Amino acid sequence: MTSLIASPALAPDDLPVVRMKPKTNARAIRHGFPWVYANELVTDRRTKALAPGTLAQLQDDARAPMGIVAVNPTSKIIARMLDQDPTAHINQAWFETRLTKALAARSRFFDAPFYRLIHAEADGLPGVVIDRFDEICVVQPNAAWAEMLLAQLTAALQSVTGVTTVLKNAAGRTRGLEGLDDINAVLAGRAPDGPVQVPMNGAIYMADLLGGQKTGIFYDQRPNHAFAAAMSRGARVLDVFSHVGGFSLAALAGGASTALAVDGSQPALDLAEAGAGAMGVQDRFGVLKGDAFDALTELRAQGREFDVIICDPPAFAPARPALEAGLRAYERLARLAAPLVAENGILGLCSCSHAADLSAFRVASVRGIGRAGRRASLIHTGFAGPDHPQLPQLAESGYLKSIFFQL
């Protein structure tokens, strides 16, 4: 287990001060926008010398206090708002208050402790993601301030939730942008001996909490899994970019006749097969390892046809410079998948790209379907579940889009 040493919490009066430049949009910060960009902050020698993750008091250009922020001079997001109360103490008790509110919100919607507990800025912990798996929580501290205060966060997490094990997942590009390491760790308790079972929508998923993608499971697709399952009774289902069987296992739980999962990761497909075995549906479940675009081309060459196809790729446009290439990839995916859909069948297309908004993603998808010679009716638009709340001031918090067409 990693030994965590709690850094002392400074009193607000002892914090360094950082100041916004004149003519910057301080009003947006006061109204809830959580980020200050590097070109909006006075970056004098003293500010540049602050260690990444340093807590500071933010002032506007008239020196009026605006709140407590976490500063990272090496990041384009140079300051993240933690608390608009300039007298706030960012300590274990502060974390406990945030976590208690988040736990109460999840308890309204879920009767089992399997959900995203903290969704970063939307839950008041900028850059922090926490997924819960019963007695285990997996923390992604994707901002330098959270890494510095990981001991307090871990203690607060155990105090509020009663979990016995807390794991640190250090994967992802965001930590690299913050200058952080990519080393996973056990922060409290004992790591599980193997994959853990995650019940969701009547399916059983196997999650590798230490070596899997992200935290081991994608809770955000839960309502879209449920919608696809409702469309899949008696259907032949194809789940492309399946990971551990997200849509395919939900479809089988919903009564699909068969499901085929396609993914480039053999470990992910092994977990999907283990989930199917735990559900007792392995005789109706198959896997295909390979590049998704190549697999769709090969399935068409074989004359295969499916009643429901869902494509849930990784982010093709994770940032604005990749937007055009990403939209072309979404169009190509729709063009290759559409010919495999049976008449009056369902095609579900998903995007987790921050840079591609719903309108642009929908246009690219419809263009791809049209280029395949199919006519589409849009029957449903889905988003992430209530354990992935959106911060209205931050468009990036509403990243997930799922659109379902009847062809």
Q: Catalytic positions, please?
A: 352
Structure tokens at 252: 């089988």
What distance in Å separates the CA atoms of residue 268 and residue 258, rounded to the nearest whole number?
Answer: 19
The phi, psi pair for 238, rounded to 5°, reads: -120, 125
Handedness of CA 250, 253, 255, 259 (dihedral sign): positive
C-alpha 299/C-alpha 208 separation (Å) is: 29
Sign of torsion, CA 138 70 106 313?
negative
Going by their DSSP bridges, the two strands 54-59 and 114-119 should be labelled as unpaired
**Which DSSP state fits 84?**
S
The structure tokens listed for 344 are 């009056």
Give the pair of three-digit tokens for residue 55. Answer: 């807590």
**Phi, psi of 229, deg, nearest 5:** -65, -40
C-alpha 201/C-alpha 222 separation (Å) is: 7
How many residues are recorded in the chain?
407
| Cβ within 8 Å of residue 209, ≥6 positions away | 133, 136, 138, 167, 169, 191, 192, 195, 196, 215, 216
Nearest to 229 by CA among 269, 202, 260: 202
Asked whether 286 and 214 are in contact (CB, 8 A), the reply is no
